[in-house]
Copies of this chain bind each other. A is one copy, B any other.
Amino acid sequence: MNPDLVSQLDPLFHPRGVAVIGASNREGNFGRLFIQSLLEMGYQHIYPVNPRGEPVLGIAGYANVMDLPQEIDLAIVATPTESAVDIVQQCAQKGIPGVVLYTSGFGEKGAEGKLQEQEMAHLARKGGTRLIGPNCQGIYCPASRLAPEPGFPKEPGPVGMISSSGFMVAFTARAGARRGVRFSKVISCGNQCDLNAADFLEYLGQDEDTKLIVAYLEEIKEGQRFFRLAREISGTKPIIIWKGGITQRGARAAASHTGALAGSRELWQALCTQAGIVSVKSAEELLDLLVAFYHLPLPKGRGVAIISGPGGPAVGATDACAEAGLHVAELSPQTRRSLGSFLPATGTSVDNPIDMGMGTMFSPQWYGEAINILTQDPSVDMLLIISPGRSDFSQSIVESVKRSGKPAALATTVLLSEEEREHLSSQGIPSYSDWRRAAMALAKLAEYADFVNGKI
Contact = CB atoms under 8 A, between A and B. Distances in A.
A434 to B, nearest CB: 4
Contacts of A415: 171, 174-175
A284 B414 contact: yes
Interface string A27-54: 1101000000000000000000000000
Interface in A311-359: 311-316, 318-323, 328, 345-347, 349, 351, 353, 355, 358-359
A163 B30 CA distance: 53
A225 to B, nearest CB: 23
Max chain B Cβ within 10 angstroms of own Cβ: one of A163, A265, A347: A347
A433 interface: yes
Max chain B Cβ within 10 angstroms of own Cβ: one of A163, A166, A257, A287: A257
A312 B164 contact: yes
A163 B247 contact: no
Max chain B Cβ within 10 angstroms of own Cβ: one of A164, A285, A328: A328
A253 B312 contact: no
Contact of A358 (B30, B81, B328): B30
A436 B249 contact: no
Contacts of A104: 346-347
Contacts of A171: 413-415
A105 B328 CA distance: 24
Interface stretch (A118-126, A238-246, A395-403): A238-246
Contacts of A414: 171, 175, 178, 284, 287, 418
B346 A250 contact: no
Nearest to A284: B434
A199 to B, nearest CB: 20
A175 B416 CA distance: 10
12 contacts: A171-B414, A216-B312, A218-B315, A244-B319, A247-B319, A247-B322, A248-B322, A252-B351, A253-B349, A256-B355, A282-B436, A284-B434
Interface of A: 27-28, 30, 81, 104-105, 108-109, 135, 163-168, 171, 174-175, 178, 216, 218, 242, 244-250, 252-254, 256-258, 265, 281-285, 287, 309-316, 318-323, 328, 345-347, 349, 351, 353, 355, 358-359, 362, 413-415, 417-418, 433-437
Q: Which 7 A-B pairs have the closest CB atoms?
A: A165-B312, A167-B310, A105-B346, A250-B319, A284-B434, A247-B322, A282-B436
